[in-house]
Amino acid sequence: MSPSTPLDRRQWFKTAGAAVAALTLTARLRAVPTPAAPTFPVKLSLNENPFGPAPGAIGEMRARVTDVCRYAGTDTSKLVRTLAEKEGVAPAQIVLGAGSGEVLEACGALLGGPAGEVVCAVPTYGQFTAAMQRRGSALVEVPLNARMEHDPDAMAAAVGAKTQAVYVCNPNNPTGTVVAAEPLREMVRAVSARVPVLVDEAYLECSDDFEGRTLVDLVREGRRVVITRTFSKIHGLAGQRIGYGVTTPELAAQIRRHIIGGPNLLALVGAQANLADADYIARTRQKIKAGREALLAVLRELGCAWAEPQGNFVFFRTGRPIGEFRAAMQAEGVIVGRPFPPYLDWCRISIGTPAEMAVAHAALYKVLG
């Protein structure tokens, strides 16, 4: 869509130079489509993937629109079989949800309760732990290490007699960091002998080494581990609401009892078609990586520190209170992430299209330069 107001248009032309610079860098990493003019304000606050699903997935969803009068039984079982094959588990080990958020909520409903505790990093993604807290569980927060990564040893040490579950977010939201695979695998293997461990891999397919970092092998070993994944991030289907958990057959059956919605028909159809286009997903991963690298080049020039990013977002130090920084960026037409205590002079910014990022880069130069 084109800029709609004179201010938007001015902003667009003003940032054309930055767009060319950003694209030169991006193009070196991977050819990208010609940028369309962005829609203002540029929304880089919710870690959405603006590249969207594969064209084949959009075609399939369009073709099936007239089927929405039907319940989604066959499409559900078809996708469950596909996911089970992809993950190397039995179909009974897959729990579908309306977004991975619904699976996290269902896990919280199952595992939470008074007189117990949930161990997690701080800051991290709060949906599972909030669901536990609503059932009466207390939060045991373990600080990230100096690189803003989860600290597996400290998390293991925080597990006690009252612990009901442990939550690990890898890559972590909001910092974007991943944990070294082996220490994490060892911690989760040991702790899951005592309590269920949730490993939220919502962003792992955006990272450089999905195969080396996923802990789904622990589910295959029979450990009490729940891996959650989503179609909202690398698959670009956030608005369709579809995600899933992979776990033991026993836990899967228990979690499923707390799923109250589940994915809709077009979400199932879109997810199924997107999984069939591995090349498209790989290209999306390249575009996200190119966007991260281009943003880091800007931050380097501006002298800002950042946490090493492996998701579709970057967490960096602005040196200004986040409320003030957000307002300044918004005045330049860019919406960035909310405050993430205790890092109140840091900001999370999602990776948009090259055109959106050009606007964001220009705004950063203006606000921080």
Ligand X SMILES: Cc1ncc(COP(=O)(O)O)c(C=O)c1O
Which residues of this protein are in contact with ligand X, per CB under 6 A? 47, 99-101, 125, 169, 173, 200, 202, 230, 232, 238, 243
Cβ 226 to ligand X, closest distance in Å?
Answer: 12
**Tokens of residue 153, six digits:** 């040893």
Give the list of residues 6+ apart from residue 299 with CB closer than 8 angstroms, or none. Answer: 306, 314, 316, 364
Q: Which residue lies nearer to ligand X by CB, 238 or 362?
A: 238
Show the CA angle centred on residue 211, arms to residues 210 and 217, nearest 5°: 115
Helix, strand, coil % over all residues of the chain, rounded to 5: 45, 15, 40
Q: Which residue lies nearer to ligand X by CB, 173 or 274?
A: 173
Cβ 69 to ligand X, closest distance in Å?
Answer: 26
How far lies 75's CA from each of 65, 183, 269, in Å?
Answer: 14, 38, 7
Cβ 102 to ligand X, closest distance in Å?
Answer: 7
Measured from the Cβ of residue 331, the count of other Cβ atoms closer than 10 Å reads 12
Cβ 350 to ligand X, closest distance in Å?
Answer: 10
Q: Which residue lies nearer to ligand X by CB, 40 or 125?
A: 125
Cβ 46 to ligand X, closest distance in Å?
Answer: 7
Crossing angle of helices 354-368 and 16-29, in 10° steps, is 120
For residue 88, the 8-state DSSP code is: T
How far lies 121's CA from each of 232, 247, 257, 267, 339, in Å?
Answer: 23, 22, 27, 31, 16
3 state DSSP class of 314: strand
Distance CA 284, CA 50 (A): 10
Cβ 6 to ligand X, closest distance in Å?
Answer: 34
Q: Which residue lies nearer to ligand X by CB, 93 or 129?
A: 129
Cα–Cα nearest to 226, from 192, 260, 271: 192
Q: Which residue lies nearer to ligand X by CB, 200 or 356?
A: 200
**Tokens of residue 81, six digits:** 């079989």
Cβ 240 to ligand X, closest distance in Å?
Answer: 9
Cβ 329 to ligand X, closest distance in Å?
Answer: 20
Give the list of residues 6+ apart from residue 128 with CB closer than 8 angstroms, or none. Answer: 104, 105, 107, 108, 118, 120, 165, 167, 198, 200
Q: Which residue lies nearer to ligand X by CB, 22 or 109?
A: 109
Q: Which residue lies nearer to ligand X by CB, 3 or 243?
A: 243
Q: For ligand X, which residue has the nearest CB? A: 99
Q: Which residue lies nearer to ligand X by CB, 47 or 93?
A: 47
